[in-house]
Structure 1
Amino acid sequence: MKFKYSWLPVLFLGLTACDINNDLDPIPEDPATAVVELNGNGIDFSTYVSIGASFTAGFTDNALFIAGQENSFPNILAEKFAMVGGGAFTQPLMSDNFGGLILGGQPVINPATQERLFTERLIFNGEGPAPLASVNPAAMSTTDFALNNPTGPFNNLGVPGAKSFHLIAPGYGNLANFPTAANPYAIRVSGNTDTSIIGLAVSQNPTFFTLSEFGGNDVLGYAISGGDGSDLITPTATFDFALENVTAALVTTGAKGVIANLPYITNLPHFTTVPYNPVPLDLETATALNQGYATYNGGIQAALAALTGTGLFTEEEATKRMINFEAGEGNAMVIIDENLTDLGAINPAFAALPKYRQATKDDLFVLPLSSFIPQGYGTQIALEDKWVLTPQEQIEIKTATDAYNLSLKTTAEANGYAFVDLNSLLQQASTSGIAFDSYVLSANLVTGGLVGLDGVHLTARGYALMANKMLEAIDSTYGSNFGKATNGLAKANDFPTNYSPALQ
């Protein structure tokens, strides 16, 4: 996806004087204690493989790049596993720290929008997220997924963009199937073969594995497209089929492992940063907007008068659909809500009336909308479905996530695997925050320290926290002591919350 934030810093963040390293709410560290030796309790970490999507790969700040990969949670885990006999952990490293991908020496262009796919990473420009090219116009990916893929096999099998069923699909990493049925990151992982991602995992005879964000993209695509129907939620039956196949393959290896569930993605700052009522108006502009919507409002009133008593159009809905702006702060944006009554279907006389209403606090808006609001989106231009998640669409996402998570937990319990509740973790970050050494990480964009600049993927510090939660789950299930041992867990100060624009 390609994010634009030109208006976001001024209106929503106000970060010029903020400390983006998140030491806003420090917790005193405990005094030094006696050294506690690490005990792996006989767990065989000699061949560790990580299976998943973008979190597993180390994707952050809208891109995959070397520094992010080095700070991926699997790489952090592997460093801890090495302390008790863990073997080498290889990753399909990108060619640079610009992020993004090219094909045959050229950027990959979306034919529908004429915009670059696999764009470079975002950076913090002192006020908010911005494309790396805004401060380094020469930044261009050198990672070509047709010409310079690294040689595997790889222990990190995280594939950004992969849905649950993609991980069992032969040919998902074959260049000949791109773009319809192959993923560039899978091409780099698989060595341009037809072997499935799970096939690559079991071929290494793993002794330990992590399975994380399995199914995350099955709902994320729907969410970031505003539930407009262009990227549907994966049916639970399809998800379960994929999970059963992945689990069956892993069971044959005899490996121990960790399974993590999925967070409610609507708690991520990609969906919580843009408010429903961000529009300040002077009296002249408010008056002009109200005049522009006068015909529409009159039509709603006429429809109510004509349909009163039929039970087909209520006064409550009519009131909700009236559009009104006022001078001052806090004007709610106008959206198109497909769940509103189709008045033209009831009476052709009202066929011209669109399904407009003003947003409420229960609506969520995707982060890229921020730069379009100054262009009249949400005022003169009603927001299409792709910009907003209505309460009904949010319920669809939650229902699917709950079903996926039930299957993931059941699978972990049935096979004796460790289990990590990432959903509860993100919910805590969204409310009270999460203590991590001398910091409190929250789900706020930029300042929270947990989620990166794209509002979806974690920061390096966030991935370190995720690794620690997995280590603690390993302790609980398999009897190790990473959580109590000296240097058994990752330290917050060893991992940044943002990367310098100078990083190349």
Structure 2
Amino acid sequence: MNTKYIIVLFLLLGFTACNSPEDVLRDNNIPVPKEIILPDLTSGVADFSKYVSVGNSLTAGLSDGTLFLAAQKNAFPKILSEKFELAGGGAFTQPLVSDNFGGLALNGTRIEGFNPRFVTTGGAPQPLESVIGPVTVTTDIVLNNPTGPFNNMGVPGAKSFHVIAPGYGNLANLPLANPYFIRMTGNTPNASILELTMAQNPTFFTLWLGSNDILGYALTGGDGTNPITDQPTFDFAMTTIVNTLTSGGAKGVIANIPYVSDIPNFTTIPWDLLDPTDPDFESILPLIPTLNAQLYGPLNQIFTALGEPDRVNLLSADGPNPLLIHDETATDRSAEIAATLTPVLGAPTAGAFGAIFGKCRQAKPDDLILLAAGSQIGKPAPGLPAPVNVNGISYPLQDQLVLIPSEQAEIKTAVDNFNATIEAAAGQAGLAFVDANTLLSQLKDTGIASNNFILTSDLVTGGAFSLDGVHLTSRGYAIIANEFMKAIDAKYGSNFEASGNLVDIGAYPTNYSPLLQ
């Protein structure tokens, strides 16, 4: 009990020893507390008896870079199902993984790219195994798949068109199949996500889909290896999904797509990270004269002579310096660099310099540096000789680690167009709608207050985003669950909020201990 309340309690005991309750209240002007009576929970016109959630990793409950048990049990659809149960909802089954390490295996061998979770010991995110040592991934997509049907049909990695694609969960189709969905298809390996959803005859659904249609492009720095889904394909997939989900009279909620510029994977690393006064980069201080003399100075002179004086400037010893990046849209000066340096370095070396720095420039405030670059900046680039091999300093950060403004514009256009499709589909089908785009922008701009917490988009400390900088924490998923319930209230006449049934986000964790197994 709080100390101030203990003091008040003893004072009241002292007063009541001498006075009647009426005297105490009259003499001390203490108002009679009013009992707050909340209405009983009602579902309105919604029927929660068979609730199924459809989506990607944000629906599955992925956090800290992987699926693990503790986070799955706090997925936003699971949180919703617990509230729906109070209003006539039924059981809610998830394709739970086998441990709290995360990662996937295939016949006892870890699947590349499906690794254990990230953790923090108070600083930057780290792979779990770098903190506690090697672990055995026990979730095996061949040896121990769970039995469905599953109410949570969130499949990490799924794009819009994957939801209607047959064979997406067929082991025989690897590597094109999705390992997470393979765990869910059972004895119908060619069934689509939508087919397995409809086989359950849902009466109510949530749909949060489309992020991966853009996120793959963003997380590869717009290098073209994972392109944005074209608009006709997205429109066809979303229309098909919504029309099918509502074909039996089911009601539901649909959410839109956030901007990538609002999530910490793209906002945590500053463009001017190289600060020799920062202990993390003080080692570059003695190198600055050499770098300026042998690299930045010559490049500045060449670019200035070609009419681009601010493309590469000298490094400063007194404060932050921009990272050196590759910009595929920059004018290619490879030939000019090689020609200028050939008398000094010889043709082979000068040609190599031209190839490396021909499309380089220093980063600017409107460039976004991906979180993955954090483990590479200041480290040698493999296969390159010193001194032109230090990522971000003497070797440009490559395309897959940076989103330049033109790539950001492509992404924003796609998000806006996809969100127009989503909102139109919700309106035409009479569904509730959650503006997740605005919600996540608010996390970045002002933070979101809830009870005694203010959640922000800051990595590690903000409370909303998990350690991969893309997915939410369990507390972040609780915020999403509340927004879904508010939207259901507004559309279908339920009263989750008015009856006091929104969740207390403080009851949900943010960062999980490295010792959680």
In the alignment, is the contact (CA less than 8 A) between 1:101 and 1:108 conserved in 2?
yes
After superposition, give the CA deviation of every residue in 1:27-68 in whole Å (9 maximum; x if it has no partner). xxxx98323311111421011000000010000011101111
Matched, 1:134 2:137: no
How far apart are residue 229 of structure 1 and its match?
Answer: 1.2
Name 1:502's counterpart in structure 2.
515
Name 1:425's counterpart in structure 2.
439
In the alignment, is the contact (CA less than 8 A) between 2:38 and 2:498 conserved in 1?
no
In the alignment, is the contact (CA less than 8 A) between 2:302 and 2:337 conserved in 1?
no
In the alignment, is the contact (CA less than 8 A) between 1:202 and 1:253 conserved in 2?
no
Matched, 1:278 2:273: yes
Provide the rounded CA distance (Å) in 1 between the counterparts of 2:286 and 2:141. 54
In the alignment, is the contact (CA less than 8 A) between 2:489 and 2:495 conserved in 1?
yes
Query: TM-score when scaled to structure 1?
Result: 0.86
Provide the rounded CA distance (Å) in 2 between the counterparts of 1:501 and 1:322. 42
In the alignment, is the contact (CA less than 8 A) between 2:288 and 2:316 conserved in 1?
yes
Name 2:76's counterpart in structure 1.
73
How far apart are residue 349 of structure 1 and its match?
Answer: 6.0
In the alignment, is the contact (CA less than 8 A) between 2:334 and 2:359 conserved in 1?
no
In the alignment, is the contact (CA less than 8 A) between 1:60 and 1:457 conserved in 2?
yes
Secondary structure in 2 matching 1:275: coil
Matched, 1:336 2:326: yes
Provide the rounded CA distance (Å) in 2 between the counterparts of 1:36 and 1:440. 28
Q: 1:377 to 1:348 in 2, by over 3 A?
A: closer
Provide the rounded CA distance (Å) in 2 between the counterparts of 1:394 and 1:78. 36
Name 1:218's counterpart in structure 2.
213
The residue type paired with residue 194 of structure 1 is N
The residue type paired with residue 287 of structure 2 is T
Name 1:355's counterpart in structure 2.
359
Name 2:502's counterpart in structure 1.
489
Q: How many residues end up aligned between the 2 structures?
A: 451
Which stretch shows the higher mean deviation, 488-497 or 57-66? Answer: 488-497
How far apart are residue 125 of structure 1 and its match?
Answer: 1.1
Pairs within 5 Å for 1:426-445: 426-445=440-459
Pairs within 5 Å for 1:7-406: 33-109=36-112, 117-179=113-175, 181-191=176-186, 193-212=189-208, 214-281=209-276, 284-293=286-295, 294-302=297-305, 304=306, 315=307, 318-343=308-333, 352=354, 354-375=358-379, 376-406=390-420
Q: Provide the identity percentage.
A: 50
The residue type paired with residue 207 of structure 2 is L
In the alignment, is the contact (CA less than 8 A) between 2:334 and 2:358 conserved in 1?
no
Q: 1:386 to 1:327 in 2, by over 3 A?
A: same
After superposition, give the CA deviation of every residue in 1:113-159 in whole Å (9 maximum; x if it has no partner). xxxx2100111212231211123224221000011100101000000
Q: 1:83 to 1:383 in 2, by over 3 A?
A: same
In the alignment, is the contact (CA less than 8 A) between 1:278 and 1:329 conserved in 2?
no
After superposition, give the CA deviation of every residue in 1:346-399 in whole Å (9 maximum; x if it has no partner). 999689360111111110011121122222311111111111100111111100
In the alignment, is the contact (CA less than 8 A) between 2:105 and 2:139 conserved in 1?
yes
Provide the rounded CA distance (Å) in 1 between the counterparts of 2:273 and 2:312. 18
The residue type paired with residue 90 of structure 1 is T
In the alignment, is the contact (CA less than 8 A) between 1:47 and 1:207 conserved in 2?
yes
How far apart are residue 297 of structure 1 and its match?
Answer: 2.8
Provide the rounded CA distance (Å) in 2 between the counterparts of 1:42 and 1:477. 9
Name 1:25's counterpart in structure 2.
none
The residue type paired with residue 81 of structure 1 is F
Provide the rounded CA distance (Å) in 2 between the counterparts of 1:386 and 1:250. 37
Task: Give the number of the structure whose alpha-carbon radius of gyration is greater.
Answer: 2
Provide the rounded CA distance (Å) in 1 between the counterparts of 2:487 and 2:44. 14
Which stretch shows the higher mean deviation, 31-40 or 215-224? Answer: 31-40
In the alignment, is the contact (CA less than 8 A) between 2:300 and 2:309 conserved in 1?
no
Structure 2 unaligned residues grouped into runs of 5+: 1-33, 277-283, 341-350, 380-389
Matched, 1:479 2:475: no
Provide the rounded CA distance (Å) in 2 between the counterparts of 1:88 and 1:150. 16
Structure 1 unaligned residues grouped into runs of 5+: 1-30, 110-116, 305-314
Displacement over 4 Å in runs of 4+: 343-351
The residue type paired with residue 192 of structure 2 is S
How far apart are residue 414 of structure 1 and its match?
Answer: 0.6
Secondary structure in 1 matching 2:378: helix
Measured on the aligned residues, the alpha-carbon RMSD in Å equals 1.8
